[in-house]
Chain A
Amino acid sequence: MKKLLLTALLATLPSAGAATLVFGNNGDPVSLEPGNITDGISIAVQRQIYDTLVDFKDGTTDPIPGLATSWKANANATQWTFTLRKNVKFHDGTPFNADAVVFNVNRWWDKNNAFGFRNQGRTYEIWGQLMGGYKGDATSVLKSVTKVNDSTVRFDLNKPSTVFPSVIGAGYFGIASPTAIRQQGAKYGTPASKPVGTGPFIFQSWRTGDRITLTPNKAYWGAKPKVDSLVVRSIKDASQRLNELKAGTIDFANDLTPDSLKSVQADKNLVAVKRPSFNVGFLSLNNRNQYLKNDKVRQAISMAINKDAIVEAFWPGLGISSASFLPPVLAWANSKNVPADYKFDPQAAKKLLAEAGYPNGFTLDLWYMPVSRPYFPSPKPIAEAMAADLSAIGIKVNLKTEDWAKYLDDRNKEPGFDMYMIGWTGDYGDPDNFYSAYYGPTASDDINWNPAQLEKLLEQGRAAVSQADKAKAYAQIHDITYKANYRIPVVHSNPLAAARTYVKGWVPSPLGSEAFNNISLVGKK
């Protein structure tokens, strides 16, 4: 009897070898339903539960097989055929096949789909943004999605696109179990639901605002997880994420502030991890402003700002400045005619300003964001540094800011801001994702400068089949935008992450999130 009791007691205790991997996420997910989110916090969790058709090689943006083992396009890239992985099962035991893919895609892109009911009357925003629109829209990239056979799916496009595999591989588009979606209806993806994918981890529970618990998928088709459970904690405050890391209550975390690098390096229990940069923080100059209309003035502004010094001061060891809108991993699409770095030359800038007819300078507004972003972690002092550089050539700067939601709104309202700070983090590994957000038909109207030529080149880039042809199109865009100086890239930052020393095998993706199946805990106490 005593022995029985003891055994029963021991059974309730976690076994000695049980390894729990604890991740400090920077907030609570919005939803665990794929296609229904636009934020990195949600993707970080979804990425563990779901697979996408196309995956990306560790630490890069190069497409590799995911749920699709291969894909090929027709000659002009208007038709893409994906061969699906066989013998893959969803966590609920139902098979993954062409029907499942067609079901998911239809949910996202067809506004009238019966199973898009998650947000009655609402659409899956991110699909519209990345795919040009929805079923029936003239601008939609996708024309149709068809099951060829159980393990083959064909996508017909309205326009040639060679980026399609990268876009459909974006973390937003995880493939969910059609059975689970049918069963759970409108609550699918909410804390009251049980999201079901094919990914390396199986969803267990979600305490909102607190944590999500997952267990390993023992039948995973890829590398099986090396831990016994995965806990994703929601810790909004960056300083508190660092505290938790130092206290050992979490094992690894994202998005620490750049100024915590020293503190991480000084702690012998921690390793600093620099996520590859996939963002750009830049300054936008508005063509509606009488001074900024002048080419020479914009050029002078660009030359007057000491970007290298600013990056060195605010992102020590965690960022680079370059004369390209594209982060380093996409450098293959840069123009060879553009220097790698901007020239910092206040004397020449002053001369240009005089040539433009303003030897005594003038006054401008510079707007900085009120929130911290990976590309601008501390916008105010960065803005102050830029203002100081500009005042050295006679441009007096009024620093301005306002609440983030209003900031985003006002920049697009006439007359907009004179100069303002903003940035972008990429979704998929193609230059298109960076340039088309700011130029062409889907761009912001914040600078009143969007030449038709750029739109044509953007289309060329999307349609180019070989990387060489692509590079040609984007190099031209680079030339044009560099000379124009309407958007002046300041930084490509490496978001700072950190892990306890016993966390092995974590390779952060430039795309912002990666599956944790390769992580092991060696000697965690």
Chain B
Amino acid sequence: MGSYLIRRLLRTLLVMIGISVVVFAFVRSIPGDPAVAMLGERATPEAAAALREQLGLNKPWFINYKDPAHLFDAQFPKYVGQLVQGNLGSGIKSNIPVRDELAARFPATAELAVAALLFALLIGLPAGVVAALRRNSAWDNLATTISLVGVSMPIFWLGLLLSYFFAVRLGWLPPSARLGNETTLQPLTGFYVLDALLRGQPAAAWDAIRHLILPAIALGSIPLAIIARITRSSLLEVLGQDYVRTARAKGLAGRTVTLKHALRNALLPVVTVIGLQAGALLGGAVLTETIFSWPGLGSWVYDAISQRDYPIIQGGVIFAALVVSVVNLLVDLSYAALDPRIQYR
């Protein structure tokens, strides 16, 4: 187990190095540069050239041996030098260190992703189980239909619809943001629900939860559908296997068989899907956060891409890759816990 972990961590490190290089080259190969994007309608060639020079974007990307003057001030060596020191640079437009902004925005995204995943699991798992147990019943059809709709509905459309219906028409929930205008909360961990509880402000916690509901539904709709479908098919498969029949034959109650024997084994692919969805949640957060004015990573990186804000795109992608790697590692480790036959060496 120990050596497995070390190997996995080393592999993650290699992946991170690869991603750092690829994202550097990638963002610079998107046509249209930050100077022009920042200047907008004012971007005359002269103004853009002047700004490019200020920003150091006129320097070569990589080391050019024929031009020793740019041996060390080329963009890539500078970037690597910063990365080694754990410095992701500063946003071109805002000049705020990427690291600071990441620290401020990641908890918002993480809180939303956790809420979305909770929502997806709480609804998706039981729906999948019911659908499998009552195969071809009305319940099954309903679950299948809903999951189809969930997968095919664009997040931004669903988000606006939810916001309009529940906030504007019914007035049950706030349309967007993380807290109401009257709520003051001194952030601690950045997870507002948690922060409010830690600070002993139950009203603020409730306010934060109310603000979480709609974006979590919007973001959780796709994972919900996928989880429901995987649970259904995986459980159906397991239910048809010999050991389940044996358990039943031994006279065990239906519920025990389903929940203890079958479901536990059926969960393995579901856990894998949850791991894969970690990346999808980060991706979906881009739209959800934009619609719900959620100050997280997604909306921030989205803006940075349209602005060609290289350091932010780089930092955001590297960080997201790290999160996905860590989640996947945790998923792999949890296999062993779910299925004793799986051992890591």
Say whether A209 contacts B32, CB under 8 Å.
Answer: no
The contact of A443 among B44, B48, B55, by CB within 8 Å, is B44
B17 at the interface (CB under 8 A from A): no
Chain A residues with CB under 8 A of B100: 192
A96, chain B: closest CB distance, angstroms: 26
B155 at the interface (CB under 8 A from A): no
Q: Nearest chain-A residue to B168 (Cβ)?
A: A246
A44, chain B: closest CB distance, angstroms: 16
A146 at the interface (CB under 8 A from B): no
How many residue-residue contacts, CB under 8 A, span A and B? Answer: 157
B345 at the interface (CB under 8 A from A): no
User: Which of B96, B100, B292, B308 counts the most A-chain CB atoms under 10 A from its CB?
Assistant: B96
A413, chain B: closest CB distance, angstroms: 8
Say whether A209 contacts B295, CB under 8 Å.
Answer: yes
Known: A129-B42, A249-B176. 5 other contacts (CB 8 A): A208-B104, A210-B178, A211-B177, A236-B299, A409-B48
Say whether B32 contacts A405, CB under 8 Å.
Answer: yes
Chain A residues with CB under 8 A of B56: 121
* Complex CA distance for A72 and B290, rounded to whole angstroms: 48
A504 at the interface (CB under 8 A from B): no
The contact of A249 among B30, B181, B294, by CB within 8 Å, is B181
B163 at the interface (CB under 8 A from A): yes
The contact of A405 among B37, B168, B296, by CB within 8 Å, is B37
Q: Nearest chain-A residue to B101 (Cβ)?
A: A208
Say whether A247 contacts B292, CB under 8 Å.
Answer: no
Say whether B42 contacts A209, CB under 8 Å.
Answer: no
The contact of A409 among B33, B96, B101, B303, by CB within 8 Å, is B33
B175 at the interface (CB under 8 A from A): yes
* Complex CA distance for A406 and B31, rounded to whole angstroms: 6
Contact with B along A104-148 (1 / 0, CB 8 A): 000000000000001101110100110000000000000000000
The interface size bin for chain A is 35 or more
Contact with A along B67-106 (1 / 0, CB 8 A): 0000000000000000000000000011110001100110
15 chain-A/chain-B pairs, Cβ below 8 angstroms:
A31-B94, A121-B56, A208-B101, A208-B104, A209-B299, A237-B293, A240-B163, A243-B176, A249-B175, A403-B32, A405-B37, A408-B40, A408-B43, A442-B46, A444-B43
A404 at the interface (CB under 8 A from B): yes
Chain B residues with CB under 8 A of A192: 96, 100
B41 at the interface (CB under 8 A from A): yes
B15 at the interface (CB under 8 A from A): no
* Complex CA distance for A177 and B174, rounded to whole angstroms: 38
Q: Interface of chain B, helix or strand or loop or mixed? A: helix
Chain A residues with CB under 8 A of B42: 38, 129, 437
The contact of B293 among A118, A122, A240, A445, by CB within 8 Å, is A240
The contact of B95 among A190, A249, A442, by CB within 8 Å, is A190
A20 at the interface (CB under 8 A from B): yes
Q: Known contacts A129-B47, A209-B300, A235-B293: does B160 contact A240 (CB below 8 Å)?
A: yes
Say whether B290 contacts A404, CB under 8 Å.
Answer: no
The contact of B54 among A121, A209, A412, by CB within 8 Å, is A121
Say whether B105 contacts A208, CB under 8 Å.
Answer: yes
Contact with A along B147-186 (1 / 0, CB 8 A): 0000000000000100110011001001111101110000
B45, chain A: closest CB distance, angstroms: 5
Q: Which of B287-329 contact A (CB under 8 A)?
A: 290-296, 299-300, 303, 306-308
Q: Known contacts A38-B39, A406-B32: does B180 contact A249 (CB below 8 Å)?
A: yes
A191 at the interface (CB under 8 A from B): yes
Say whether A210 contacts B177, CB under 8 Å.
Answer: yes
B238 at the interface (CB under 8 A from A): no
A259 at the interface (CB under 8 A from B): no
B36 at the interface (CB under 8 A from A): yes
A14 at the interface (CB under 8 A from B): yes
Chain B residues with CB under 8 A of A453: none
Contact with B along A9-43 (1 / 0, CB 8 A): 00000100000101000011011000000100000
Q: Known contacts A191-B96, A246-B168: does B293 contact A233 (CB below 8 Å)?
A: yes
Say whether A20 contacts B167, CB under 8 Å.
Answer: no
**8 residue pairs, one from A and one from B, having the closest CB atoms:** A209-B295, A405-B32, A406-B32, A405-B37, A210-B295, A243-B175, A406-B31, A246-B168
